[in-house]
Amino acid sequence: MFSMGRRIFCITVLLAGSIVPGWADPRDEAGPLSRMVSYFSGDLQRIDDELAQLKPLLAMPPIPPQQTGHLGFSSKLEPTQYTRFVTVDLGRPVNIDAIVLVPLSNAFYGWPGPGYGFPVRYLLEVSMNADFSHSDLIAQDDNFDIPNPGSNPVIYTPQTVAGRYVRLTATKLWQLKDKQGMAVGRKILALGELMVLSGKLNVAASLPATAILSSDSLEDSGYGRAYLVDGQSILGPPVRGEPGPNGFRTKPIEKKDQPAWVQIDLEHEVEVQEVRLLPAWTAENPERRGYGFPTKFKIELSDNAAMTNPRLVGEYNSNSSPNENPVTVRGNDTRGRYIRLTTLGLSSLDNGFGLALGEMEVYAENENFALGKKVTASGSDEFKDARGNWSVRNLVDGQTSQGKLVPWPVYFQQLDQRKEAQIRNETLLQEREIKAKELVGSVIGTAGYVVGGLVMLFLFFSFRSLLKKRRALEDLRTRIARDIHDEIGSGLGTISLLSRMAQEGDLDDAKEDLREINRISVSMSDAMRDIVWFNRTDVDTVRDLLMRMRETAESMMAKQQQFNFTICGEELVRPINMEIRREIFMIFKEALHNILKHAEASKVDVRAGLEGNDFILQIRDDGKGFDQSMETSGAGMGSMKKRAESLRGSLRLESTPGGGTALSLRTKLK
């Protein structure tokens, strides 16, 4: 059985969790309850610290869905299960630093897309000869089923391996399964891209279809052998960090087949390994991936800027947009200093046709020699505003509109780190959930009693507060009754006595008594209005009090020759409780009464309002004054001093015979 305190604590947690979603979820390391219990556990603090370290890696941009029409390579769909392979001929032996298997994304009979056709078991080999009679085994996953990678590329980094041929052999093919785990559909081998990294270069990029050998191939509907190495996949460009300038764009051109060119001075002759073109993307046209990328172009090298006797590096002709993926033109070790891209077919821009590129990289000696070099063009749109930034300088600044370009090895290292971070993050969250639940259980056992005690203290102080409020209400009722008795009762008694005397006396005496009765009636009426005003709840600000004081003063001082009432201070809408309001008003009224009765003044100045957090009242007259050493209770000072003391304020009086009187009150509002 739970104790009462434990029950209260559990109910509190459950209520908090129902009112604020996730509040009581120990799995959520950012939740209030989760943060609270972590203070009691070094294990939870350690887990939270590690989760915080993983956040920068998890914040990397996700791999986008398939966008290009060149899906990749796929074997034919067959009902039977047998071994299938695909081999890439790199053209010559190279040192291989990494092999990357990029999954294909295709929604198929309920399959969400990423990881479509990725082999369940496979061998990955590198060899110097086409028959693989001697080979280096890079991966051997043919003894157990491997999890589908989804959008994550699978990266292998062999140590000191050289070869010309790379072969992937699927020993168990991918097959779609229904929700019950039953196999449906035919079996296939499919990949979005196969990349072979040597240094910073993908040496498999843009190989011809004849360099790809496979057991069979589906050459239709976005699939083909050449699409295995065309650079078009779900990866996009190798970028990181904040978005950069848009890139380079020509001015609008009227005709689609009108040539345009852009040229880079590499500053000295180099042997070009490859030219990599990064398509442009703009926030103005987010749906137009590969904005302004030419449908046809050629790349040439020359020893001079006039491009006389140019040497052809390569050509490009495609009706399919590359979207965000880099397009690689193999350099074939062509030499030259000046490199020029000339369009043979333009894409449509906003106002006509034109050429646009996010970046142009020229690799030689495994480095980008175009970075930061001088660029010239047949016509550049030098444009910069809040919508975009186009310039020839942006063609070689090392950035695209999506971020800073990084070498392929760095990019894949980051992707691999993110994948490991995702796995580790999920493991830590599960571990945290278990430990947090254990800790909450133990905390509930002890905290229940503490909470129960706190509830009892809360009830005790609430009861005391209720009694205090009741006593204050009783005091208010008593004070109202006393005020009515003092102000109204005595007045009514006097009226009764005077009326009886008027009946028994002569006419002249009766007139005097009636005048006194009238005076007392007016005084009683004012007193009744004051009592009613003090107890109103809709006049509880400093401004309300000042308005009442000025109204009362103008009424009392109606016959005074010179009377001034000045309001000072700001924030006069601040609330003031009834007790303070009453005492200030009574001091003020008593002071005016004394002036009218004793001062014989011709001028009275009143200043009232706020100074900071203090309420101030200053009254000065030019009357006859009095000797303060001879002060008696009849002057009313005793009553005013008692009221000032009840306010915990200060009351000062300055007066000299023939020099008038000055009264000053200062008190806090609370």
Residue 661 has pLDDT above 60, yes or no: yes
- What is the reported pLDDT for 595? 87
Highest averaged pLDDT of the listed ranges 284-288, 477-481, 548-552: 548-552
Average pLDDT of the residues in 343-350 = 87
pLDDT tens for each residue of 382-411: 877 655 688 999 999 999 888 899 999 999
Distances 52 to 56, 378, 390, 505 between C-alpha atoms, Å: 8, 51, 38, 100
- Tokens 């107890």 label which residue? 535
Q: Which residue has the higher pLDDT, 109 or 405?
A: 405
Split at pLDDT 50, 70, 90, the class of 2 is: very low
Structure tokens at 50: 């590690």
pLDDT at position 21: 44
- Encode 575-610 in three state secondary structure: ECCHHHHHHHHHHHHHHHHHHHHHHCCCEEEEEEEE
State mean pLDDT over 133-147.
88
Domains of the chain in start order, with CATH, are 73-228 (2.60.120.260), 242-401 (2.60.120.260), 539-668 (3.30.565.10)
Token pair, residue 152, equals 């994550």
The pLDDT, as a whole number, for residue 443 is: 58
Question: What is the model's pLDDT at position 271?
Answer: 95
- Per-residue confidence band for 10, with pLDDT thresholds at 50, 70 and 90: very low
Instruction: Give pLDDT, residue 374.
Output: 96
Given pLDDT bands bounded at 50, 70 and 90, which one contains residue 1?
very low
- In angstroms, the Cα distances linking 388 to 234, 251, 289, 294, 359 are 25, 14, 15, 20, 15
Answer whether residue 19 shows pLDDT above 50.
Answer: no
Calpha distance 212→226 (Å, rounded): 7
pLDDT per residue over 488-539, tens digit each? 555 555 565 556 555 565 656 666 666 666 666 666 666 666 666 766 667 7
Section 50-72 average pLDDT: 77
**Pairing state between β 562-568 and 603-611:** parallel
Q: What is the mean pLDDT of residues 454-471?
A: 72
Q: pLDDT at residue 597 above 80?
A: yes
Residue 616 · residue 665 · CB < 8 Å: yes
pLDDT of 135 higher than 80: yes
Which token pair is 227? 């699409």
**The pTM is what?**
0.61
